[in-house]
Amino acid sequence: MKVFLGADHAGYKLKEKIKQFLEQKKIGFKDFGTNSTESCDYPDFAKKVATAVQKNKGSYGVLVCGTGTGTAIAANRFSGVRTVQATSEYLSKMAREHNNANVISLGARVTPEKDALKFVETFLSTAFSKEERHVRRVKKIG
Ligand code: RB5
């Protein structure tokens, strides 16, 4: 499994915690930054992660900004990228099972670290259901 990570200044610290978590789980990742709390623009990091996910079949993206909204909106502009703005474990699970989401977007200012790590764990360990109706619906998204 390959995971691409990206965050803006608001998501930087949580991204670093997610990296530690992935290291513990021995999950391979590539970090596109940002690498400090200095102000920067979330669409730049969403673009890096989204294009990496487009190019690497079966890969996943994890994005973090203040709310999880900006990075989700930006990443979803890229064809074949399906991003969930995860605010619960249920959404993290359903986004994989029903929507075959390949990117999870988290809000560092609104989601406690422990919860965010759980959402990432659930997202990465849940398979797409592959039931015909779900496959059909995801295909219709294009
Ligand atoms: C940065 O202040 C904040 O706007 C950004 O991290 C994000 O929440 C945008 O959606």
pLDDT at position 80 is 98
| Whole-structure pTM value | 0.98
pLDDT tens digits, one per residue of 31-47? 999 999 999 999 999 99
Which residues touch 78 (CB under 8 Å, ≥6 apart)?
Answer: 47, 50, 51, 53, 54
Ligand 1 pocket test target in 65, 69, 85, 87 with most atoms within 8 Å of CB: 65
pLDDT tens digits, one per residue of 10-26? 999 999 999 999 999 99
Complete domains list, the chain, with CATH: 2-141 (3.40.1400.10)
* Cα 96 to middle of ligand 1, angstroms: 25
* Cα 71 to middle of ligand 1, angstroms: 8
Please work out whether the CB of residue 85 comes within 6 Å of at least one atom of ligand 1.
no
* Cα 87 to middle of ligand 1, angstroms: 15
